[in-house]
Amino acid sequence: MDPWGSNSPKRRDKLYIIAEILEIAKEGTLKTQIMYRANLSFTQLKDYLKFILKINLLEKVVQNEKEMYRTTEKGMDFLHRYREITELLKTENENSKNNVKIPPAHLLKRG
């Protein structure tokens, strides 16, 4: 499935995947839910979680004896800035064919 909603076989970049993980974890979620919803392998997920936790965009919390992951305030700031940048690129993309990948609408919504 192409997350961009087009027929191009383009790959997701790292910032897109980080934004997707942070969006999924806004309310708190399990590792397996992140893995399936972000369409990542377990190895990819481990690497991303390690990095995102290290830079404090995500936090690990124990809830009902389960490890949950939740987007931090810093992570929410990242999402906000990511949306602003993609909105700028979206405007530019409408004016020209520069082949910039624009994330799907669920990552662009304000909130």
Per-residue pLDDT reduced to its tens digit, 44-89: 999 999 999 999 999 999 988 999 999 999 999 999 999 999 888 8
**Structural domains in the chain plus CATH codes:** 14-104 (1.10.10.10)
Query: What angle (nearest 5°) sits at the alpha carbon of residue 73, between those of residues 22 and 5?
Result: 25
- pTM more than 0.85: no
